[in-house]
Amino acid sequence: MTDKNVKAKPRRPQDSGSTALAIPSLGIPSIFQEFMQPFDEFMEPFFQGSMRSFMTQARKMEPVVDFQDRGDHYVVTAELPGFEKKDVEVKAHSNVLELTADKSTENETKGKEGVQKLSSRSYFHRYLTLPEEVLSEKVSGTMKNGVLELRLPKRVAKAADKSTRVDLK
């Protein structure tokens, strides 16, 4: 069996002025910046830096999910630091995998000023559309040290219907 990692294609570097393909630059990045500028200015008092940098930071905090095709099955690995097995729910459908992790904590400290309650919640939810159908009833998984690993057996493709010549009367 061979491992085939399914990952996003790398982004192409910015246009260097080359006209090899003779495709004119549409200036989309500059249009997007002009579109976001009023919003950034409005949100600046609430967030240090621009809203774009806030969204970039939020994406960096999103757990890493790796998807591999191993021939007769898929392997999905998700890094969920701070979550335990009881916090994670996995639902497998024919060609969709749904991952949910939810954890809430409450701490209470007593001090001179009285009782202080601190609470936090961590939440992660992702749908993954699979390239082929899997046997959802045979999906298995483990959760160890904040790493979720799932094994999804592929559904065996049914033999293609053979065409039959129909004799007309």
SS3 content of the chain, % helix, strand, coil (to 5): 20, 40, 45
Sign of the torsion formed by the C-alpha atoms of 137, 132, 9 and 28: negative
The pLDDT tens digits for 51-100 are 555 555 555 567 889 999 999 999 999 999 989 999 999 999 888 999 99
State residue 7's pLDDT score. Answer: 46
Q: Which two tokens stand for residue 166?
A: 């129909």
Domain positions in the chain are: 27-61, 62-158
Give this prediction's pTM: 0.57
The pLDDT tens digits for 145-167 are 999 999 999 988 765 666 677 77
Q: Which two tokens stand for residue 72?
A: 């007769």
In CATH, the number for domain 62-158 is 2.60.40.790
Q: Taking the CA of residue 63 as centre, how many other CA atoms within 13 Å lie in the half-sphere pointing to its CB?
A: 23
Residue 43, judged by CB atoms within 10 A of its CB (0-12, 13-18, 19+), counts as middle
